[in-house]
Amino acid sequence: DAEITQSPRHKITETGRQVTLACHQTWNHNNMFWYRQDLGHGLRLIHYSYGVQDTNKGEVSDGYSVSRSNTEDLPLTLESAASSQTSVYFCASSERRGTDTQYFGPGTRLTVL
Partner 1 sequence: QQQVKQSPQSLIVQKGGISIINCAYENTAFDYFPWYQQFPGKGPALLIAIRPDVSEKKEGRFTISFNKSAKQFSLHIMDSQPGDSATYFCAAVIGGYQKVTFGTGTKLQVIP
Return residues touching partner 1 (CB under 8 A).
Answer: 31, 33, 35, 40-45, 48, 58, 90, 92, 94, 96-107
Query: Could you tell me the smallest distance in angstroms from the CB atom of residue 59 to partner 1?
Result: 8
Query: Could you tell me the smallest distance in angstroms from the CB atom of residue 22 to partner 1?
Result: 15
Q: Which residue's CB is nearer to partner 1, number 19 or number 33?
A: 33
| Degrees to nearest 5, angle at CA 62 with 56 and 63 | 110
Q: Which residue's CB is nearer to partner 1, number 31 or number 87?
A: 31
Q: Which residue's CB is nearer to partner 1, number 32 or number 81?
A: 32
Query: Could you tell me the smallest distance in angstroms from the CB atom of residue 1 to partner 1?
Result: 15
Backbone angles phi, psi at 84, to 5 degrees: -70, -10
Q: Cα 6 vs. chain centroid, distance in angstroms?
A: 9
Query: Could you tell me the smallest distance in angstroms from the CB atom of residue 97 to partner 1?
Result: 4
Per-residue CA distances from 3 to 34, 105, 106 (Å): 16, 8, 10
Amino acid in position 4: I
The DSSP symbol for 85 reads G
